[in-house]
Amino acid sequence: MGEWIIEPATVEDLQDIVHIEEACFSTPWTRKMLAVELSGNPFAHFFLAKGAPSSEGASVSIVGYLCFWVVFEEVRLMNLAVIESMRRKGIARALVMQALEMGLVKAARCAVLEVRASNHAAHALYRNLGFRDVTIRPTYYTNPIEDALLMELDPIATESGLLTQDVHREGGPITSRQ
């Protein structure tokens, strides 16, 4: 699969999202929690990354997702995962950039998130996108108990060319090529 697209999730995607969530996290969000974010939370947005069909008629499959809130001036990244076989292809980066773009459109000024202290992959991803460590929230996570790093991007800036390159913004689905 050489191509993938990003598009909004719907409640029909819930089952696939639950599968990925359970595969990626030691304390996965429940189906109910995910369902609320997909349809019951007015602040929430949910984007999917889907592997594009390799031939005509082939179906697409969900390879990653990002749930985020836009709460007034703030984008809150809530839940991000990419299936193992599709990692290190820039999918998470594109999902986060898409969220930041939507935040800017909705007049958000900054973005925040929490990440497990031991999650070096996610930490590197966010650092590379310009987020900085703000503080530690001790014993924030369970299974295993672990500190959270609070990270922030303020302002959501384009100074470093953050919101450019492999994301095409012509409306409709966003396509990124490998």
Q: Is 115 a binder of ligand COA (CB under 6 A)?
A: yes
Asked whether the beta carbons of 156 and 111 are under 8 A apart, the reply is: yes
Would you call 1 helix, strand, or coil by DSSP?
Answer: coil
User: C-beta of 57: minimal distance to ligand COA in Å?
Assistant: 27
Q: CB nearer to ligand COA: give 58 or 121.
A: 121
Q: Is 103 a binder of ligand COA (CB under 6 A)?
A: no
Distances (CA, A) of 153 to 40, 90, 130, 138, 171: 27, 19, 6, 21, 25
Residues 6+ apart with CB under 8 A from 169: 101
Q: What is the spatial distance between Cα 97 and Cα 151, in angstroms, rounded to a whole number?
A: 15
Q: CB nearer to ligand COA: give 41 or 119.
A: 119
Q: Is 76 a binder of ligand COA (CB under 6 A)?
A: no
First to last CA, the chain: 9
Q: Which of residues 118-137 bind ligand COA (CB under 6 A)?
A: 119-122, 124-125, 128
What residue type is assigned to position 142 of the chain?
Answer: T
Residue from the set 12, 57, 88, 170 that interacts with ligand COA by CB under 6 A:
88
Q: Is 18 a binder of ligand COA (CB under 6 A)?
A: no
Residue from the set 89, 148, 149, 174 that interacts with ligand COA by CB under 6 A:
89
**Binding residues vs ligand COA (CB under 6 A):** 24, 80-82, 87-93, 115, 119-122, 124-125, 128
